[in-house]
Amino acid sequence: MIQNGYILAIESSCDDTGAAVLYNGKILANKFATQAVHAQYGGVVPELASRAHQRNIVPVVDIALKEAGISAQDLSAIVYTQGPGLMGSLLVGASFGKSMALSLGIPSLGVNHMRGHILSHFAQRPEDTLALPSFPYLSLIVSGGHTLFVLVKGYSDMTILGRSLDDAAGEAFDKSAKMLGLPYPGGPLIDKHAKAGQAVFTFNKPRVANLDMSFSGLKTSILNFLKKEIVSDPNFITENLEDICASIQTSIVEILIEKTKTALEQTEVQDIALAGGVAANSALRQAFLTLAQEKCLSCHIPPFEYCTDNAAMIGIAGYFALKEGISPDVDSLAHPNLPF
Ligand code: KG4
Ligand code: ZN
């Protein structure tokens, strides 16, 4: 049976090169190389990302296999991120994964990156005891590229309930941080400065129907606010950095929590789950936990290493896909807009 034994997982959808090794659905190794090169450009440069993946993929896979204590010949399948993501980045991981599988005579399978985030709660090491979400659960995925609500009824039975119609929440953090002169990625820095500030400034809230969201209007509102204040006080940003960060963070968190409340009115779930890089945000984690307590729901937020882009979540999604009988497909191609 393919799903049993050792699986190598590869993630290369954006700017992190990840490799993980699983044994019977448990994580034995989860390694990655980040790409510092993008910081100086204020965002991910696709061409530089694919070149860095090319440099990193062999050593990262090698380190993951060593940490798991196995050799490539022990593997029974290889899964890799097929999409969505940056084409040049995806190509490196997909081509590498498929070629390695072919040379070893084992199956390979392309995995949807978003399904990886949604199932990231199931990425556990053999010794981990964190409670797993029960189906059906409401998942809020918040990353630099995506913001969406998904009703998860099974490992492969998922329905998108709503999504951001423009920028992702992580993008809203990063672009706001850029306006404040903070380096990329600015989300963690807004979180850090916000801890010492008060949310004394308010920005326009988007009005979007149903469970869809919007963050580009908020961005414009923040920009206009900063421009206006700088006219009367050129040092406004440096003098008020903590309060501005707290205000931006509060606005983004309020948008997400209000929509989560609406989602809960429309679904019958006992579990809610937060995942994606922005799940690292301290205010969002706290607000999500508080909401779960108020509604007497079980709350699931994975450890940080499984929140940001990582290969363990791709491995776990691949493991369940194989277990549910999805056929490995050597012809599957990297797809930047892979449908859900
Ligand atoms: O999931 P991820 O690693 O990559 C994507 O798939 O996009 O998410 C990265 C995003 C970035 O926008 C980054 O600024 C944001 O997650 N992020 C945070 C925090 N940590 C990471 N945003 C706010 N507060 C944080 N603590
Ligand atoms: Zn991601």
Residues 159 and 19 in one domain: no
Instruction: Name the residue with tokens 């003098």.
Output: 239
Using the predicted structure, report yes or no on whether residue 1 has a pLDDT greater than 70: no
Residues 156 and 24 in one domain: no
User: In the 8-state DSSP scheme, what is residue 210?
Assistant: T
Cross-strand partners of 140 = 149, 274
Each residue of 286-302: pLDDT tens digit?
999 999 999 999 999 99
3-class state of residue 4 by DSSP: coil
User: Is position 57 within any domain?
Assistant: yes
From the CA of 174, give the closest atom in ligand 1. Answer: 14
Residues 44 and 174 in one domain: no
Residues 150 and 290 in one domain: yes
Tokens of 217: 């209007």
Tokens of 105: 């005579």
Q: How far apart are the first and last CA of the chain?
A: 26
Question: For the chain, how big is the Rg over CA atoms in Å?
Answer: 20
Residues 172 and 283 in one domain: yes
Residues 22 and 54 in one domain: yes
Q: Which CATH number covers residue 119?
A: 3.30.420.40
Q: How far is CA 78 from the centre of its chain?
A: 21
Q: Is the CB of 84 under 6 A from ligand 1?
A: no
Residues 175 and 154 in one domain: yes
Residues 101 and 160 in one domain: no
Residues 292 and 167 in one domain: yes
CA atoms within 13 A on the CB side of 337: 0
Residue-level pLDDT at 2: 58
Each residue of 11-42: pLDDT tens digit?
999 888 999 999 999 999 999 888 787 777 77
Domain of 282? 137-301
Instruction: Name the residue with tokens 């994606």.
Output: 276
Each residue of 167-214: pLDDT tens digit?
999 999 999 999 999 998 999 999 999 999 999 999 988 889 999 999
Residues 104 and 237 in one domain: no
Mutational pocket test of ligand 1: of 147, 256, 308, the residue with most ligand atoms within 8 Å of the beta carbon: 308
51 CA from centroid of ligand 1 (Å): 22
Q: How far is CA 72 from the centre of its chain?
A: 28
283 CA from centroid of ligand 1 (Å): 13
Q: Total structural domains in the chain? A: 2
Residue-level pLDDT at 3: 61
| pLDDT, average across residues 303-308 | 92
Q: Please give the torsion angle defined by the CA atoms of residues 9, 147, 254 and 272, in that order, rounded to the nearest 10 degrees.
A: -50
Element holding 27 (H helix, E strand)? strand 26-34
Q: Please state whether the predicted TM-score (pTM) of the whole model is above 0.85.
A: yes
User: Is position 223 within any domain?
Assistant: yes
User: Is position 113 within any domain?
Assistant: yes
